[in-house]
C-alpha cells in the first residue's frame, strides 16, 4: 500500500488499460491529474472512496461508459474535470447535500438528457461548465438557488424556448454563456442590472435590443451576434 502517496501526476503519457485498483488503497491521495493521458476502459470506483481525494482531472482521456455516480456524491472532491472524455449517458443525480464540490467541468463530452434539478444540491458550486453536449429541456430553477454560483456555461447544447427569467437574476453570477442554442422570444428588458457578462450569440431571439441596456450599471460585456 502506498500510504504516503498524496499526488500522482500521469499527464501527457500514452498509457493504456484501466486505472489500477491499488491506487484506491492510498489513504493520503489528494490529487490525481490524468490530463491528456489516453486511459481506456471504465473508471475505478475505489479511487472515489479515498477520504482526502479532492482534485480529479481526467480531461482528454478515453474513459468510457456512464459517469460513476460516486463522483457526484463524494464527500471530499472539490474540483472535478471530465472534459473531452468519452463518457456517455446523462449527469448523475446528486444525493449528497454536504458535497464540497466547487468546480465542475463536463464540457465537450456528448452527454444527453436534461440537467438534473439535483445539481442544485451542490451548495458550494461556483462554476459548472456544461458546454458542447446535447443537453435539452428546462434549466432547473434549483441552479438559481446555489448561493455562490459565479460562472454558468451551457453553450453549444440543444436548449429551446424561453430563457428562464431567474437565470438573469442570480445575484452572485458574474458570467453566463447561453450561446449556440435554440432559445427564442425577446431579450428581457431588465437584463444587465445583475449580470455583468453575458454571451447570448447564435440563438433565435426575437424583437428589439432593449434600450434599458444603456442604463444597466452592472453590465460589462454582452455578445448578441
In this predicted model, what pLDDT tens digit does every residue of 25-63 receive, in sequence order?
A: 556 566 666 554 554 555 544 455 556 678 888 888 777
User: How crowded is residue 197: how many other Cβ atoms within 10 Å of its Cβ?
Assistant: 17
* Confidence tier at 22 by pLDDT (50, 70, 90): low
pLDDT, tens digit (0-9, with 9 covering 90-100), for 203-218? 999 999 888 888 888 8
Which CATH architecture describes the domain 89-223?
Answer: Alpha-Beta Horseshoe (3.80)
pLDDT band (50, 70, 90) for residue 24: low
17: exposed, middle or buried (Cβ count in 10 Å: 0-12, 13-18, 19+): exposed
Q: What is the mean pLDDT of residues 126-130?
A: 98
- % of residues, the chain, pLDDT over 90: 50
Mean pLDDT for the chain? 84
Planar angle of CA 197, 199, 205, nearest 5 degrees? 125
pLDDT tops 90 at residue 156 = yes
pLDDT of residue 68: 86
CA distance 60 to 39: 9
Amino acid at each position: 500500500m502506498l500510504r504516503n502517496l498524496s499526488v500522482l501526476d500521469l499527464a501527457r503519457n500514452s498509457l493504456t488499460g484501466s486505472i489500477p485498483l491499488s491506487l484506491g488503497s492510498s489513504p493520503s491521495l489528494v490529487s490525481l491529474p490524468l490530463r491528456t493521458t489516453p486511459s481506456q476502459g471504465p473508471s475505478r470506483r475505489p479511487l472515489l472512496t479515498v477520504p482526502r481525494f479532492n482534485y480529479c482531472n481526467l480531461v482528454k482521456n478515453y474513459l468510457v461508459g456512464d459517469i460513476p455516480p460516486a463522483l457526484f456524491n463524494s464527500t471530499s472532491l472539490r474540483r472535478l474535470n471530465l472534459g473531452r472524455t468519452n463518457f456517455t449517458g446523462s449527469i448523475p443525480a446528486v444525493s449528497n447535500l454536504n458535497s464540497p464540490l466547487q468546480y465542475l467541468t463536463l464540457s465537450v463530452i456528448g452527454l444527453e438528457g436534461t440537467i438534473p434539478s439535483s445539481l442544485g444540491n451542490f451548495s458550494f458550486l461556483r462554476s459548472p461548465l456544461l458546454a458542447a453536449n446535447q443537453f435539452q429541456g428546462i434549466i432547473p430553477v434549483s441552479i438559481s438557488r446555489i448561493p455562490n454560483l459565479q460562472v454558468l456555461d451551457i453553450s453549444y447544447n440543444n436548449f429551446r424556448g424561453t430563457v428562464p427569467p431567474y437565470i438573469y437574476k442570480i445575484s452572485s453570477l458574474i458570467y453566463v454563456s447561453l450561446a449556440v442554442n435554440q432559445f427564442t422570444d425577446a431579450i428581457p428588458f431588465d437584463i444587465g442590472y445583475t449580470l455583468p457578462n453575458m454571451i447570448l450569440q447564435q440563438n433565435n431571439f426575437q424583437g428589439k435590443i432593449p434600450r434599458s441596456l444603456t442604463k444597466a450599471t452592472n453590465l460589462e460585456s454582452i455578445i448578441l451576434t
